Amino acid sequence: MPNKVALVTGGTRGIGHATCIALKAGGYKVAANYATNHEAAKKFQAETGIAVYSWDVSNFESCKNGIAQLEKEMGAVEILVNNAGITRDGMMHKMNPEDWNAVISTNLSSCFNMCHAVIDGMRSRGFGRIINISSINAQAGQMGQTNYSAAKAGILGFTKALARESARKGITVNTVAPGYVHTDMTSHVPEAVMKQIIDQIPVGRMGNPEEVARCVLFLAADEAGFLTGETLSVNGGHHME
Ligand code: NAP
């Protein structure tokens, strides 16, 4: 059993929720970060026994302080899963700068903020696993999501650059790019639109959060040390690179 501390941002709902449970079952000491939905976090903590920490991943100082507190209470973070994300959809010609900036800072700058807070420790200990959650919509582009597609595509470059910087220090950095998965995020997509999307997915259905969690668990392992700078797509065959 690894017995290492694993932190999942946005870990109290959806894909993060399933990832926390998979990591805990895999023997990790798991912590879940979240933003403001305290009710969901309380329920998650009661059901799983996993520690929860609230801070805004788009804020550099909050990440630094949040990690410092968590490490004091639980020990050094050795596995970081940058999963927290939001959507603020709209056609580019109608999108306001607030919706652009909110998605870029929550989905992309968060990876910088969080990695910055843990990377020195990982480098000095000579071990780390960083897994960034991107999206099929980074790889294929999506109408109404210039902000989201740009942020998620930014993660692909960020991952590769940091992977190169960190490889000699025993740290791997990889991306998991999910397709359409049943969570609160996709529950707002109108049924007719979702039906059109599902028609394009070779396996003929959306994914489950547990199917993404399985990919994260694979990349988190000690044995995954020769795998870095990669994108693992989990999308039912919806997009093949
Ligand atoms: P979700 O069900 O909407 O859950 C989002 C989680 O992120 C919640 O725990 C939320 O906390 C947290 N969060 C949001 N903004 C945050 C912030 N500023 N600081 C800290 N935590 C924050 O989302 P999901 O569908 O599981 O998606 C998880 C990740 O997978 C996202 O990065 C998403 O873009 C990506 N993804 C999802 C799909 C899909 O089909 N669902 C497909 C591809 C990629 P609160 O509960 O406090 O709001």
Question: Which atom from ligand 1 is nearest to the alpha carbon of 37?
Answer: 47
- Reference 205, options 176, 183, 182, 189; nearest CA is 182
Check: CB of residue 150 under 8 Å from CB of residue 104: yes
CA 169 to ligand 1 centroid distance, Å: 30
Check: CB of residue 18 under 8 Å from CB of residue 182: no
Test site for ligand 1: of 80, 86, 206, most ligand atoms within 8 A of the Cβ: 86
Read off the CATH number of the domain in which 84 is found.
3.40.50.720
Please report the pLDDT score of residue 213 as a whole number: 98
Q: Which long-range contacts (CB under 8 A, 24 or more apart) does 93-97 make?
A: 95/146, 95/147
* 53 carries an active-site annotation: no
Test site for ligand 1: of 156, 183, 188, 232, most ligand atoms within 8 A of the Cβ: 183
Rounded CA separation 30/12 (Å)? 11
Smallest CA separation from ligand 1 atom 24, residue: 14
> Which residues face 172 on adjacent strands?
129
Q: Is residue 239 part of a domain?
A: no
Smallest CA separation from ligand 1 atom 41, residue: 181
Please report the pLDDT score of residue 77 as a whole number: 98
**Residues within a 6 A CB radius of ligand 1:** 9-10, 12-16, 33-37, 40, 56-58, 83-86, 106, 133, 135, 178, 180-181, 183-186
Q: Is residue 88 part of a domain?
A: yes
Evaluate the CA torsion angle 235, 238, 240, 241 in order and state its sign. Answer: negative
Q: Give the domain extent around 138.
A: 5-234
Q: Is residue 241 part of a domain?
A: no
Cα 148 to its chain centre, rounded Å, is: 14
- Reference 82, options 16, 165, 161, 172; nearest CA is 16
End-to-end CA distance of the chain: 34
pLDDT in tens, the chain (241 residues): 788 999 999 999 999 999 999 999 999 999 999 999 999 999 999 999 999 999 999 999 999 999 999 999 999 999 999 999 999 999 999 999 999 999 999 999 999 999 999 999 999 999 999 999 999 999 999 999 999 999 999 999 999 999 999 999 999 999 999 999 999 999 988 999 999 999 999 999 999 999 999 999 999 999 999 999 999 999 999 999 8
Q: Based on the structure, what is the number of domains in the chain?
A: 1
Alpha-carbon distance values, 9 to 190, 203, 226 (Å): 27, 29, 24
The continuous run of DSSP H or E covering 171 comes out as strand 171-178
Please report the pLDDT score of residue 148 as a whole number: 98
Angle value at C-alpha 22, between 20 and 24, nearest 5 degrees: 65
CA 165 to ligand 1 centroid distance, Å: 27
Q: Is residue 240 part of a domain?
A: no
Please report the pLDDT score of residue 57 as a whole number: 99
Test site for ligand 1: of 54, 137, 185, 212, most ligand atoms within 8 A of the Cβ: 185
Question: Which atom from ligand 1 is nearest to the alpha carbon of 106?
Answer: 18
Alpha helices in the chain (DSSP H): 14-25, 38-48, 60-74, 97-104, 110-125, 136-139, 146-166, 184-187, 191-199, 209-220
